[in-house]
Amino acid sequence: MKRLLDVLVSALALLLLSPVLLAVAVAIALESGRPVLFKQQRVGRGDREFGLYKFRSMVKNAAAIGPYHTASDDPRITRSGRFLRRTSLDELPQLLNVLKGEMSLVGPRPDVPAQRSLYTSQDWQARCSVRPGITGLAQARLRSEATPEQRLDLDLRYVREQSLALDLQILFWTLGRLTGKGAN
């Protein structure tokens, strides 16, 4: 049921949001050229690596001139990138990852391979036992304010308690955060 929901919602969202996707792509291209999409290796279900898609919100070759993580004042972030990140529009291309079956709408956010060393073997295996999501419990409850410990705790809680009802609640909380109504 979850996979069917993922496919239906992501396909519908891509169709309905196509004007927004086009506008974002044009804005990025006009500000800093092509490519407008950024593809980064992430780790998904079963510890398999895949290419995660995002709208490019940083200068070209940002990965070569800085770490895999960013701070809010990172000089590599472009002017349009700040807006895209603040509104989470940079995440929309991940709907393609959902259609391909690499991700789900809801699950722990996928990590880059280098982050494997930050986890115990057991915690890493648990996180990789489910499809990663565009949003998850940590994003819905704390967004980017989560500490690594809080994020891991909420990711593992999701793995233990996952259900269609919890997924719908997380989607509701996420939409609330995006519209400024919070996750409470």
- The answer to whether the CB of 153 falls within 8 A of the CB of 136 is no
The residue count for the chain: 184
For residue 183, pLDDT beyond 50: no
End-to-end CA distance of the chain: 27
Using alpha carbons, select from 127, 140, 128 the residue that is nearest to residue 175: 140
pLDDT tens-digit series, residues 34-79 = 999 989 999 999 999 999 999 998 877 766 676 666 666 777 888 8
The whole-angstrom separation of Cα 36 and Cα 16 is 20
Average pLDDT over residues 155-163: 94
pLDDT tens-digit series, residues 92-125 = 999 999 999 999 999 999 999 989 998 999 999 9
CA dihedral for 108, 127, 104, 160, sign (positive or negative)? negative
- Residue 24's pLDDT is 95
Using alpha carbons, select from 59, 70, 67, 65 the residue that is nearest to residue 34: 59
The whole-angstrom separation of Cα 98 and Cα 41 is 15
pTM score: 0.85
The whole-angstrom separation of Cα 111 and Cα 163 is 22
Phi–psi pair at 35, nearest 5 degrees? -80, 155
Determine the 3-state secondary structure of 49 from DSSP.
strand
Beta strands per DSSP E along the chain = 37-43, 49-55, 104-106, 133-135
